[in-house]
Structure 1
Amino acid sequence: MNRKLLAGLMLGVGLSVTPALAADLRIALNSDADMLDPDQSRTFVGRIVYASLCDKLIDITPELKMIPQLATSWSWSDDGKTLTMELREGVTFHDGEPFNAEAVAYNIERSMTLPESKRKSEFTSVESTEVTGEYEIKFHLKNADATLMAQLADRGGMMISPKAAKAAGADFPTNPVCSGPFKFKERVAQDRIVLTKFDKYWNADKIHFDSVTFLPIPDTTVRLANLRSGDIDMLERLAATDLTSAKADSKLKVESATSLGYQGITVNVGRGEAAKKPLGQSKLVRQALSYAIDREALNQVVFEGAFQPGNQQVSPASPWYNKDVPIPARDVEKAKALLKEAGFDRVEIEYSVPNNPVQLQIAQVVQAMAAEANIDIKIVSKEFAKLLDDDSSGNFEASQLGWSGRIDPDGNIHAFAVCGAGMNDSAYCNPEVDKLLNDARVAPDDAARKALYDKASKILDEELPIIYFYHLKWIWALSSKIEGFVPYPDGMIRLENMKLAD
C-alpha cells in the first residue's frame, strides 16, 4: 500500500500520520547495486548507497574541493612521499567497534591485497602505512602520487569495520558494516536496499530521516510515475526527454549537475574467445565503428540535446581535454574504407546493453547508424549486474557501459587502460600507455600531467579499446516537500541537512 493511500485512511478514522512514516525516504535508482563492499564493487548506484552507508576519509564540496570527513586534516612531506592524516575521534562503526588509525591501516591493506579488490590499481604507489598514534596514520609512498587524495575521497577511502570484515570473509557484502549515517538493515535483490538511521553517528544532528530505502527501477517512465504518485520521494537520472514535463509539475523539483564521467562502448580486445572477433582484433574495425556514429545526432535523438558529445575520458569542457584529438565527424564512406583496409566488406558485432529503455534506445540508434557503414549489430539486453559480471569475465564482444567520473583525471582512465588493472574489462595492454599514465601520477604539476595524458589520449584514440560517445548531466527529480538537497558533479545523494517539510 502506498503512503498517500495509507495517510488518507488514517486521517479518515481520526488518526494522524506518525513521525516515523514521514521520516522514511524512498529513492529510486536507475539499476540495482552490485555487491555492497567498497573494495569489490564498481556500480555507480552502489556509490549512491555508500553515500549513506559508508563514510570516507575525505569528502568533496560541490565545487570539487576536498574537505574533511573521517580524516580531519592532512599534510605532505616535502618530497611528496609521505602523507600524514589526523583522524576524527569519537567515531564508531555500526557494530560498535571504534574507528581509529588501526582501522584505517586494515582498510588500506585490504584494498591492496584482497584478491577480489577493484581498488588495487588505485593504491599502487603505497609502500606501507604506519600507525603513529591512536588517531594518526602515515602513508609511505614508493613515489609521489598526485592521485592518492582523490582515491581517498572515493571508494578507496571508505572505511568498513575490520572486526566485521574479518568475521564475514567473503560474505561481508551480504551485511556490510561501515560508519556512515545509516546502517544496513536488509536487501532484496532487484527490489530494495533498506538502511536505518545510526543513532551513534558522529554527525547525527545533520540527519533527519529514520530510514532510507533504495529501489531499483530501470524504466525511466515508471520511475517518474512513482514519483508523481508519491510512492517514492526522489529519483536519480531523470530522462532528458522528461525534463520539460517534470519542471512544469508544481509537485516536483528538478536539480542537475554536469557529470565528471563518460558513456560509450568498451570493446573486448584481449580476453577469451569473444576478443577474437574482428572488432576485438582490428583497430581499423573499431575506428570504422567510431566514424559510423554521429555523436551530436545521438545526443539530439535520445537526450534532446541535453548532454555533451565526446570522444575522450573527460569532456570538452574539462581543462584536461586534449584539443588535438577532436570529436570525429560522422563519415560513413571512411568507415567503409577502414573496413576494407581491415579485410572486410561487412562485419557483425554482438553488443551487450543494460536492460533499461534509455540504454536500449542508445543501442538502437547506434545499430541504425552502424548498419549504413556495413556494420551489423546484434543487441543483447542484460540485467545490469549480469552485464558487469560478463564484462569482468570477458564474456562480451562490445559492451555499452559508462563511468560516473572522478575528480582527478587518473580516476577516469588508469583503471580502464593499464595492463591488468582492476576495471580494464577490454583487457587492453600497451606498455607505452602504461608508462604515460603511471608517469602522470608522479608528475610535478598539472601542466606536466596534462602533457602525459594528451599523449596517452592520442594512442587510445587510435586503438579505441573504449569508444566514447557522450558526457551526461546528472538530473534528479524530487518531491517539492524535500528540502536541503544539494546537487554534486559526482552524482551522489548526500543526506546531510536534507529533510521533508512539515
Structure 2
Amino acid sequence: MRLLPAFLAFALAALPAAAQTIRIGIASDPDVLDPTLSRSVAARQVFMAMCDKLIEVDERGQLVPQLATAWEWQEGGHALLLTLRPGVRFHDGAALDAEAAAAGLNRHLSAQGSTRRGEMGPVTAIEAAGPMQVRIRLSQPFAPLLAALSDRAGMLVSPRQANVLGADFQANPACAGPFRLTRRVAQDRIELERFDDYWDRPAIHAERVIYRPLPDTTVRAANLRAGSLDVIERVNPSDVDTLRRDRRVRLLEGPSLASVYIAINVANGERADTPLGRDARVREALEASIDREALNRVAFEGLYQPGNQSTPPGHPHHIAGLPVPGRDVARARALLREAGMERVRVKLSVPNTTEYVQASEVIQAMAAEAGIQLELQVTETATLLRQWTAGDFEALIIAWSGRTDIDGNLWGFNACREALNGGRYCSEAADAALREGRTRVDPAARLAAYGRAMEVLLRDRPYIYLWHAKNYIGTGAAVQSVRMVPDGLIRLQGLRLRG
C-alpha cells in the first residue's frame, strides 16, 4: 500500500503528545454522533467515550452491569425490570433516574429515523417502576433485549434532549459517559474532554481524547509507530508483522464478532432492477466465483477466517451444518447461462479503506473469470451507509461489527421493512424463523430456528458473507490496560499512558 507523504506529514505534525491526552486512530469518520440514529462502527468507537450503556460487555463476551446494576425478567418474559445505578449524571448535569431512563429508551422507539427500534423488539411500554427502577414491557418474550441494551439501544441521553435528534443533538450532546464532546471537524478529528462528574471517575486517567479518522491502515500504523497516535483500531494484516517487530509499539490480538459481506439491492428502488437484484441465480453465480480461502490468503495474509454466516465458527449461534462453499467457476458460468446471459456487469460500492479496497480487487479478479464484471465504486463510509439506506446502490461490501446475540446480526438486516434492511429483502419464511428465534428462550430451540432462517437466507442471498476478521489493536509502548473485548471497541476505563 502506497503512503501519501503530504497527508502523513500533516498527521504526524498535528497534535503533539500530551501526558493526559489519548489519541486514537479510527478507520472512518462516524456517520452521526447520536446513539438513536447511528449505524457506523466508527460512531460506536466514539460512543465508548461519550455514552455509557445500561449493560456492558466484558472480555469474555458476558453481560455485566454499567448504568444498570441489576436486571430480572418478570411476568414470564413479558417484562424486564432494570435497577439503575445511583449517583449518575448526564453531561448537562441532569440526574439519571427512572423517568430519565424511560425518556431515553422511548427516544429509541419513537424518534423518526431510529435504527434502534428494531433492536429492541416487541416493546409495548416503558415505565418508571420506582425512583431508580425502569420496567420494559413486551408483547411477547424477547431474548435478545439484554444484548441490545449492551449497545446503542442501552445508551441514554439527558431527558432535556429526549426530543433532540441528529445535527441538533450533536451540537450539544448529553450522554452519561466519561467524556463529553467539545469539537468535531468532519473527516479530521473528534475532540472530547473528561466529564468530572462521571460516576466511575477513578477509572478515567486522561483529560482529553482525540479520535482521528484515517481510512488508510498503513497511514494509521505509521502514525502509531511515529508516536503521533497512542491507539489504533483494526490493524490490517499486512501491517501485523511490522508492528510486531517494532519495539516502540505493541500489537494486541483478540477474538471478534465481526463479519464482512456483500449486500445486494433486491427490492429498494430503481437500482434494484438489475440482473443481480432480480435473479437469485446471478447472486449464486457471484458467490460461486469467489474463493474465500484464497481471498483470505491474498488480502489478509491468511490471518482472518473465511465464513458464510453472520457469526464465526465457535459462536453459540453458528450453524455448523451449513459449511462455507468452495469456488466453482464452471457452476457460476452455467448459472449465468441459465439466467439467459453470458456476461453481467455489477456496480460494487466499496468503502474507502485499505482492507475493503484490497479485498474487492481480489474479488473483482475472481468474478471476472466467471463472466461477472465488477465495477468498483470507492466511497467514503458514511456516504455509503446513507446510499445503502436510500437504495442508491446495486451491491456494496461492508462489515457488521457483530453482536453477542445473533438477533442483532440478522433481524434488522433481513426482516421485512426493518430500518437496516437497505436492499429491502423480504421473505415470509425467513421472517417466521427469525421471529421464532428471538421469542424463544430455550437455547436449542433458538439454534434450530436460526438454522432454518440461515437456510433461507443462504438460498436467497440478500447478503454474501465472506470473512470474519480478528480483533487487532495497536498501541504505543506507554499505553497500559487496553481491554480486548470481542466487539472490538476501545474502552477508556482503566486505559492510561505510563510516564
Cα-Cα RMSD = 1.7
1:357-372 matches, within 5 Å, as 357-372=354-369
Which residue of 376, 387, 390 corresponds with 2:373?
376
Aligned counterpart, 1:445: 442
Aligned counterpart, 1:140: 137
* Inter-partner Cα distance in structure 2 for 1:474 and 1:167: 34
Q: Is the 8 A contact 1:36 1:174 kept in 2?
A: no
Which residue of 290, 297, 300 corresponds with 2:297?
300
Which residue of 127, 131, 142 corresponds with 1:130?
127
| AA partner of residue 436 (structure 1) | A
Aligned counterpart, 2:286: 289
Aligned counterpart, 1:202: 199
What secondary structure sits across from 1:448 in the alignment?
Answer: helix
Q: Is the 8 A contact 1:238 1:476 kept in 2?
A: yes
Aligned counterpart, 2:324: 327
- Quickly say closer, same or farther: Cα 1:288–1:58, change in 2 above 3 A: same
* Inter-partner Cα distance in structure 2 for 1:54 and 1:38: 8
- Quickly say closer, same or farther: Cα 1:39–1:6, change in 2 above 3 A: closer
Q: Is the 8 A contact 2:77 2:140 kept in 1?
A: yes
Measured after TM superposition, the shift of residue 241 of structure 1 is: 1.1
CA deviations over 1:149-185 (Å, ceiling 9, x no partner) = 0011110000111203436676113332101000110
What secondary structure sits across from 2:77 in the alignment?
Answer: coil
Aligned counterpart, 1:432: 429
What secondary structure sits across from 2:374 in the alignment?
Answer: strand
| AA partner of residue 403 (structure 1) | W
* Inter-partner Cα distance in structure 2 for 1:262 and 1:306: 14
Bigger mean CA offset, 147-156 vs 105-114: 105-114
Aligned counterpart, 1:92: 89
Aligned counterpart, 2:3: none
Which residue of 404, 409, 418 corresponds with 2:415?
418
CA deviations over 1:418-477 (Å, ceiling 9, x no partner) = 001111111100111111111111113110000000001011111100000000011011
Measured after TM superposition, the shift of residue 340 of structure 1 is: 1.1
What secondary structure sits across from 1:79 in the alignment?
Answer: helix
Bigger mean CA offset, 156-165 vs 333-342: 156-165
Measured after TM superposition, the shift of residue 67 of structure 1 is: 0.8
* Runs of 5+ unmatched residues, structure 1: 9-16
What secondary structure sits across from 1:325 in the alignment?
Answer: coil
Which residue of 391, 397, 401 corresponds with 2:398?
401
What secondary structure sits across from 2:163 in the alignment?
Answer: helix
* Inter-partner Cα distance in structure 2 for 1:191 and 1:67: 34
Aligned counterpart, 1:31: 28
- Quickly say closer, same or farther: Cα 1:45–1:347, change in 2 above 3 A: same
| AA partner of residue 84 (structure 2) | L
Bigger mean CA offset, 169-178 vs 257-266: 169-178
Which residue of 461, 466, 469 corresponds with 1:469?
466
Which residue of 344, 348, 354 corresponds with 2:345?
348
CA deviations over 1:458-500 (Å, ceiling 9, x no partner) = 1111110000000001101100100111111000101111111
Q: Is the 8 A contact 2:53 2:67 kept in 1?
A: yes
Aligned counterpart, 2:219: 222
Aligned counterpart, 2:386: 389
Q: Is the 8 A contact 1:2 1:230 kept in 2?
A: no
Aligned counterpart, 1:317: 314
| AA partner of residue 294 (structure 2) | A
What secondary structure sits across from 1:118 in the alignment?
Answer: coil
| AA partner of residue 440 (structure 2) | A
* Inter-partner Cα distance in structure 2 for 1:127 and 1:182: 33
Q: Is the 8 A contact 1:2 1:231 kept in 2?
A: no
Q: Is the 8 A contact 2:350 2:357 kept in 1?
A: yes
* Inter-partner Cα distance in structure 2 for 1:436 and 1:7: 51
| AA partner of residue 267 (structure 1) | I
Aligned counterpart, 1:66: 63
Q: Aligned residues: percent identity? A: 42
* Inter-partner Cα distance in structure 2 for 1:93 and 1:324: 47
The answer to whether residue 239 in structure 2 is matched with residue 242 in structure 1 is: yes
Which residue of 252, 263, 283 corresponds with 1:255?
252
* Inter-partner Cα distance in structure 1 for 2:244 and 2:216: 19
Aligned counterpart, 1:273: 270
* Runs of 5+ unmatched residues, structure 2: 1-8
| AA partner of residue 250 (structure 2) | K
Aligned counterpart, 2:6: none
What secondary structure sits across from 2:387 in the alignment?
Answer: helix
Measured after TM superposition, the shift of residue 365 of structure 1 is: 0.4
What secondary structure sits across from 1:390 in the alignment?
Answer: helix
Q: Is the 8 A contact 1:165 1:172 kept in 2?
A: no
Measured after TM superposition, the shift of residue 121 of structure 1 is: 0.8
1:48-63 matches, within 5 Å, as 48-63=45-60
* Inter-partner Cα distance in structure 1 for 2:106 and 2:85: 20
The answer to whether residue 336 in structure 2 is matched with residue 339 in structure 1 is: yes
Q: How many residues align?
A: 491
Measured after TM superposition, the shift of residue 4 of structure 1 is: 9.4
Measured after TM superposition, the shift of residue 229 of structure 1 is: 1.2
What secondary structure sits across from 1:166 in the alignment?
Answer: coil
The answer to whether residue 185 in structure 2 is matched with residue 188 in structure 1 is: yes
The answer to whether residue 207 in structure 2 is matched with residue 213 in structure 1 is: no
Measured after TM superposition, the shift of residue 7 of structure 1 is: 12
- Quickly say closer, same or farther: Cα 1:235–1:7, change in 2 above 3 A: closer
Aligned counterpart, 2:5: none
CA deviations over 1:263-289 (Å, ceiling 9, x no partner) = 010000001111010000000000000
* Inter-partner Cα distance in structure 2 for 1:7 and 1:432: 54
TM-score when scaled to structure 1?
Answer: 0.95
Q: Is the 8 A contact 1:95 1:164 kept in 2?
A: no
Measured after TM superposition, the shift of residue 323 of structure 1 is: 2.2
- Quickly say closer, same or farther: Cα 1:170–1:34, change in 2 above 3 A: closer
* Inter-partner Cα distance in structure 2 for 1:5 and 1:225: 13
* Inter-partner Cα distance in structure 1 for 2:250 and 2:192: 24
Aligned counterpart, 2:4: none
| AA partner of residue 153 (structure 1) | S
* Inter-partner Cα distance in structure 2 for 1:377 and 1:167: 41
* Inter-partner Cα distance in structure 1 for 2:39 and 2:15: 38
Aligned counterpart, 1:14: none
Measured after TM superposition, the shift of residue 3 of structure 1 is: 11
| AA partner of residue 43 (structure 1) | S
The answer to whether residue 456 in structure 2 is matched with residue 483 in structure 1 is: no
